[in-house]
Amino acid sequence: MKIAVCVKSVPDTETKISIAADKKNIELNGVRFITSPFDEFAIEEAIKLKEKNGGETVAISVGGKEVTDVLRDSLARGIDSAVHVDDPDLTWLDPLSTAKVLAAAIKDGGYDVVLCGQQGVGGDNSQVPSILAELLNIPQVTLVVKLEIDGTKFRAEREIEGAHEFVEGSLPAVFSAQKGLNEPRYPSIKGVMAARRKEIAVKNAEALGIKGTVGGDNRKVVIKEMTLPPDRGQGRRLEGDVDAQVKTLVDLLRKEAHVI
Amino acid sequence: MSQGILVFIEQRNGQIRKASLEALCEAQKHAGLSGGSVTALIIGENVKGLTAEVGKYNPTKILVADGAEFGSYSAEAYTEALAEAVKKTDPRFVFAAQTAMARDFLPRAAARCDAPVISDVMSFIVDGDKLGPVRPMYSGKCFGQYEINSPLAFITVRPNVFPVSAPDASAAPAVEDLAIKPENIRAKVVETHKSEGSKIELSEASIVVAGGRGIKGPENWGVLEELCDALGAALAASRAVVDAGWIDHQHQVGQTGKVVSPQLYIACGISGAIQHLAGMSSSKVIVAINKDAEAPIFKHATYGVVGDIFEVVPKLTAEIKNLQNN
């Protein structure tokens, strides 16, 4: 079984966000990058699938030098090899462009399973897995919390509003991992050492046959301006004993805030 | 030239999602700018009866893709139907609500049309004939205003943000069948199991009651559930208690859970980690109940109550019930 895992390097979720001077991005100075938390579930699932079915796992990521650490992290967790799509033309991509790059890197690889996190923490678009499946012309299941594979058949449980639905289908397919799919393992020291020796294949747009067709002016959406949420202002700390505070609270919710 | 707006109306078991009506009503506001009319699209099996309800929100036309192929959800079948509707109506925008279903198939349909998706939009900035969707990023730690460089764009709106206008019983839009028979479906839903617990869907609730470590253990959710019942609220949780296994991930609010924007968010025994705050800070009113007066959550709360949740919450529940009985 050949498994691709698409991973993304994102600012640490602890990051306090501020806006860059050009207002088109967040301030990246001093930001620590990590593997997008949902991708950890995808990586773990890939490793588990290989443990069970044998085969090969490949981590793929698009971006600048910050991606190297994330790919090393995938390798340290147990992914076999890594592909880094690194090209100055392929930066600040919208989801459609990102999926086009990933599709170019995946399409001729003979993959049975493609795993992604259900969304990149940060951009929060939650689009790439479905677009990728369309571009590869294979089915997809998103928000997966349980995955069973038997030969070329799969059964996936996905999270929807107030329910879980079970999707059955045939491989190859794209799956996007939701929290709950598994318990991601931490990289072992041995894994970290081994990851340092593994080579990361670097490819550019030309090598993927997409030079000049993806990214840059081909992007169909761009961010015009980023802003911080409006200041919520000083809140009100209620006073008195618990009974008095509860009475005041209900009164304020009714008469001042009009929310109950 | 592309004009007008096509709105995907989601139904499950013959129930139309309120969030889809929100998307439809918001689309009406931008119909003029897009130089055309609003068409609604319903996909499902035996769903023609739903046109009456959708019609009250006054789309110019309702397209119905009705057939056994759409009886259980399949991303591929729904993609074919939506892509066909786009071909037929040639709209400038496709609107839908950001739900689990739309997240699954809408980007696929958009890719088939080589069009972008701007997801989870919370507001629009209109500049001349340009529509500038604004969406939260980093779970709401900041917002991005988008510029669209495409004759066709798909836009999903966050549930519970845009209002539904008053229904107009006299509206009688044209209803048309969308003849489409998807073939070669390689994956589809075979079963659906309702989740236990919260009766109200978190992302669509107008009131949310959330619990954190302060609830001390999974045996104590009852205290918050009673408040939920009194308020008609959905139950939410912080990451800490989800990771501890006290409640299912479906209830998690924050950067690796759901991002919610209810009218009222009551945080009980939640200290207010930055990732949690990101997931709820766009709530209209935030109430924090915590015995630690220094908890960061108080900096973000509209109203703060310093006290033990096991004392405060039952009293709050009683006071609300008391209010409802009088």
Residue A192: which H helix or E strand, with range? helix A189-197
How large is the ipTM? 0.95
**Both B178 and B248 in a single domain?**
no
**Sheet harboring A236-237: ordered strands across?**
A236-237, B303-306, B285-290, B264-268, B207-211, B234-237
Domain of residue A181, residue span: 2-218
User: Using CB atoms within 10 A of its CB, is residue A27 exposed (0-12), middle (13-18) or buried (19+)?
Assistant: middle
**Both A120 and A193 in a single domain?**
yes
**Both A248 and A189 in a single domain?**
no
> Does residue B104 sit within a domain?
yes
**Both A81 and A199 in a single domain?**
yes
**Both A143 and A234 in a single domain?**
no
The Cα–Cα gap between A127 and A142 comes to: 10
For residue B95, give the CATH number of its domain.
3.40.50.620
CA distances, B297 to each of A109, A236, B215, B304 (Å): 48, 12, 16, 9
> Does residue B227 sit within a domain?
yes
Flag whether pLDDT at A39 surpasses 70: yes
Residue B159 is encoded by which pair of tokens?
A: 């549930």
Whole-number pLDDT of residue A72: 97
Domain of residue B273, residue span: 202-325
Flag whether pLDDT at A162 surpasses 90: no
**Both B165 and B213 in a single domain?**
no
**Both B9 and B129 in a single domain?**
yes
Answer yes or no: are the C-beta atoms of B15 and B8 closer than 8 Å.
no
In a mutagenesis test of the A interface, which of B204, B207, B256 is the best target, namely the one with the most A β-carbons within 10 Å?
B256
> Does residue A28 sit within a domain?
yes
For residue B213, give the CATH number of its domain.
3.40.50.1220
- Rounded to 10°, the helix A95-106/B100-112 angle is 70
Which residues from chain A sit within 8 angstroms of residue B92, using beta carbons?
none
**Both A82 and A177 in a single domain?**
yes
Calculate mean pLDDT across residues A121-138. Answer: 97
**Both B211 and B150 in a single domain?**
no
| Boundary (domain end) residue, out of B132, B153, B184 | B184
**Both A210 and A238 in a single domain?**
no
Answer yes or no: are the C-beta atoms of A114 and A106 closer than 8 Å.
yes
**Both A162 and A35 in a single domain?**
yes
**Distance from the B141 Cα atom to the nearest Cα atom in chain A, whole angstroms:** 6
Residue A99 is encoded by which pair of tokens?
A: 């999926």
| Boundary (domain end) residue, out of B128, B157, B184 | B184
* Number of domains within chain B: 2
* Number of domains within chain A: 2
For residue A128, give the CATH number of its domain.
3.40.50.620
**Both B20 and B149 in a single domain?**
yes
pLDDT tens for B214-273 read: 999 999 999 999 999 999 999 999 999 999 999 999 999 998 999 898 999 999 999 999
Whole-number pLDDT of residue B78: 98
Angle at A160 between CA B266 and CA B86, to 5 degrees: 115
CB of A98 within 8 Å of a chain B CB? The answer is no
The position carrying tokens 């990214």 is: A215
Flag whether pLDDT at B198 surpasses 70: no
* Closest alpha carbon to A114 in A166, A203, A64, A177: A177
Q: Which residue of A has its CA nearest to B239?
A: A179
The position carrying tokens 């990521």 is: A61
DSSP state of B218: G
Rounded to two decimals, what is the model's pTM? 0.95
